[in-house]
Structure 1
Amino acid sequence: MTYATTEDMTSRFGEQDLILLTRRQNSPIGQIDLTVLGQALDDATSEINTYLSGRYQLPLSTQPKSLTRICCDLSRYFLSGNNAPEHIETRYKDAVSFLRAVNKGDISLGLDTTGNKAEQNDVAIIESAGSVFARDKATGFL
């Protein structure tokens, strides 16, 4: 199972872009080559898993939405080959930086080590020592 689908790629980058990126010698004319796209999504998922495997038990039982975006960016870069424009290459580098930060533990996916959604217990608590300036404590000053 991949972190992104054909529909995710189409909604992010458009059908025309994917038709051009997946065009190969034997591809159907004017259509997205689903075999080529599927291979790119598999490759991106595999790369994501190499970074996650040190921190999480795979496969993840809950998939964060950020991994769908990362998978789409990686797949698009892989489809571009050696001709990746600068903006696609930048998004690829940003995705890899994100994955490295997750691997180091600098960024959390919001999951526990088994891949389930982590329990949140980060509630803000405000404590006060009381008011410093009160009329009853002013002793004639106020």
Structure 2
Amino acid sequence: MDYATQADMVSVFGEREVVMLTDRSLLGTIDATVLADALSLASDEIDAYLDGRYALPLPNVPRLLTRICCDITRYRLSGGDAQETEPSRNRYKDSIKMLEAVKRGDLTLGLDPAQQEVPTRGAVQINNGTRTFSRDTLADY
């Protein structure tokens, strides 16, 4: 399952940049095949981090993974005429750090291991328990 689409890439980076990254034939258009292959490879890279923590394929794609997939795809497509830039390299490195945090369990995708969405809204429940020290327990001191 791919975590991002051509429309996601255009939304994040703009059509001009996606054309520059994918147009191997110099037709001035997005090469859908090149982009689809790159998105698929980026999704495979993401799956390598998620496997073992989540059952794959995920039932839905969290927005965080869509952004990470776009950043990885952009980085992987750079080279040749589309020069790798410092911002794209930094976004890639940040994406990998986030995936490592997900793998360790330090960052959540909003899914529990049973693939049910974790509620993000609700009340916090606090249980104070019983007091250890009170006037009665400290009366002799």
TM-score (norm 1): 0.81
Q: CA RMSD in A?
A: 2.1
Name the count of aligned residue pairs.
126
Cα distance, 1:123 vs structure 2: 2.9
Q: Report the secondary structure of 2:78's partner residue.
A: helix
Find the counterpart in structure 2 of residue 137 from structure 1.
none
Q: 1:78 aligns with which of 76, 93, 102?
A: 76
Cα distance, 1:114 vs structure 2: 3.2
Find the counterpart in structure 1 of residue 104 from structure 2.
104
For 1:11 and 1:120, locate their aligned partners in 2 and report how far apart those are by CA, in whole Å.
Answer: 26
AA at the equivalent of 2:23: R
Structure number having the greater helix percentage: 1
For 1:77 and 1:41, locate their aligned partners in 2 and report how far apart those are by CA, in whole Å.
Answer: 11
Find the counterpart in structure 1 of residue 42 from structure 2.
44
Q: Percent identity?
A: 48
Find the counterpart in structure 1 of residue 4 from structure 2.
4
For 2:115 and 2:43, locate their aligned partners in 1 and report how far apart those are by CA, in whole Å.
Answer: 15
Q: Report the secondary structure of 1:81's partner residue.
A: coil
AA at the equivalent of 1:75: T
Gaps of 5+ in 2: 129-141
For 1:48 and 1:125, locate their aligned partners in 2 and report how far apart those are by CA, in whole Å.
Answer: 34
Moved over 6 A (4+): none
Q: Report the secondary structure of 1:60's partner residue.
A: coil
Q: Is the 8 A contact 1:58 1:115 kept in 2?
A: no
Q: Is 1:17 equivalent to 2:17 in the alignment?
A: yes
